[in-house]
Amino acid sequence: MQFISTRGQVPPVSFSTAVAQGLAPDGGLYLPEQLPDLKPYLAEWSKLSYAELCEVFFAIFATDIEADELKKIVTRSYTKFDHADIAPIVKLDDDRYVLELFHGPTLAFKDFALQLLGNLYESQIARTGNRISVLGATSGDTGAAAIHGLLGKEGVTTFILYPDGRISPLQERQMTCTGADNVFPLAIKGSFDDAQTAMKTVFEDREFAAEVGLSAVNSINLARILAQCVYYLSAYFRLPEDVRDDITFVVPTGNFGNVLAGWLVQRMGLPIKGFRVATNQNDILHRLFESGTYQLDEVAPSVAPSMDIQVASNFERFLYYAEGQDSEKVREIIQTFKETGKYVFENFDRAGFSSSRTDDAQIAAIIKDVYAKYGYVADPHTACGFSDGFEGKEIILSTAHPAKFPDTIQDAIGEDSTHPSLEELKSREIVKYSVEPTPEAIKAFMRARV
């Protein structure tokens, strides 16, 4: 299978090339040249374990990786999860379920993709002999998951940008207390959007990318999205049969990658009823699905910091399909948004999405209410999925362990939420580096350490 850029100005590439490059040379995001039809496989796949399901799903896309090698990559990727189901489902009542995605090594849903991506990189380096420099930007969980997915990988140097003071203290410790000498957490002044914009500009410098062997861990990397597709398949198969075709997936999201993965699987033939995009007070996506207008606003720091985003990079992949796979139209929309901070869609097709918005006060009230009603502790991002006003059956994606946000949990329910791996971090030394959020400063820092 070949992979194309959403902006249509570069030739198709193989799976391994798409993964290695991360961002396409024309600034676009890679997608399969044609989405496969999964319907003929669903009955057989429903009987598989999580790792087996991931393997057969990736085999459709990673056609340039030998079957035995792919099996090894996938099997290694799910050995560090602390629940036998990998992504367990918790039933709260007859209409409400939770899909827990926080049982990986950094207690966040990003582990599903970044454990796999780390092993894909390791295989690539062994095959080619070429070292790589990984550059990412994080609003909280991506950085920790990327670092832990790449720890111990020969030939990898990791650089992660994050907004200083705008992620939770424990999220920061997961990135800055590894003790690894090839990991560089880069604290910037500004927002996640500032970090992401600078990162994308660095990737557009193809000469620099070749010089340092640049690769991406953010959800601009197609492997991230494909890995996240698997837990929608897994969840669908494990829901009760009388529920699975009549349930809405509720997805807390900031960068649109988490919900995009489910939507792509739906387009491939999995009969998911629909999706609700659950935002915090940084609600650019909610405003889009409500009004058809995609418009920047100021980032308002919140108690759900991983969603403190105003530029949802994966929205470009959705755009590609929403605009009839018209790359020229995608380029026009992206350029207009880049120049003006706004784009108004005519006859905007919501494509089965609904949306909701939850501010900080509502998040605290929801955590308290969910705990009182179900005895279940939801982290502040997951809490956004419990917003009022939705009728029908729903499965809420729980994106992080509540112990990563102890102050918010304590304030809401008056009880501590802890996890041994996080407690152990509190005694370690923080090592981080201050860098200006400019492409020039980032490239200079990387050149000095590659």
Q: Could you give the residue numbers annotated as active site?
A: 110
Query: CB within 8 A of 81, min separation 6: which ones?
Result: 103, 104, 105, 111
Joined together, the tokens standing for residue 450 give 């590659």
Look up tokens 């699905």; give the residue.
289
Answer yes or no: are the C-beta atoms of 396 and 373 closer than 8 Å. Answer: no
Answer yes or no: are the C-beta atoms of 239 and 264 closer than 8 Å. Answer: no
One-letter identity of residue 13: V
The whole-angstrom separation of Cα 224 and Cα 210 is: 22
Farthest-apart Cα atoms in the chain, separation: 58
Answer yes or no: are the C-beta atoms of 116 and 230 closer than 8 Å. Answer: no
* Burial (CB count within 10 angstroms: exposed 0-12, middle 13-18, buried 19+), residue 323: middle
| Nearest CA among 361, 218, 255, 250 for reference residue 302 | 361
Judged by DSSP in three states, 362 sits in: helix
Judged by DSSP in three states, 50 sits in: helix
One-letter identity of residue 42: L
Joined together, the tokens standing for residue 263 give 């939507």
> What are 433's strand-pairing partners?
186
| Nearest CA among 92, 87, 91, 97 for reference residue 394 | 97
* Helix, strand, coil share of the chain (percent; to 5): 45, 15, 40
Joined together, the tokens standing for residue 408 give 């918010």
Query: CB within 8 A of 440, min separation 6: which ones?
Result: none
Joined together, the tokens standing for residue 365 give 């009230």
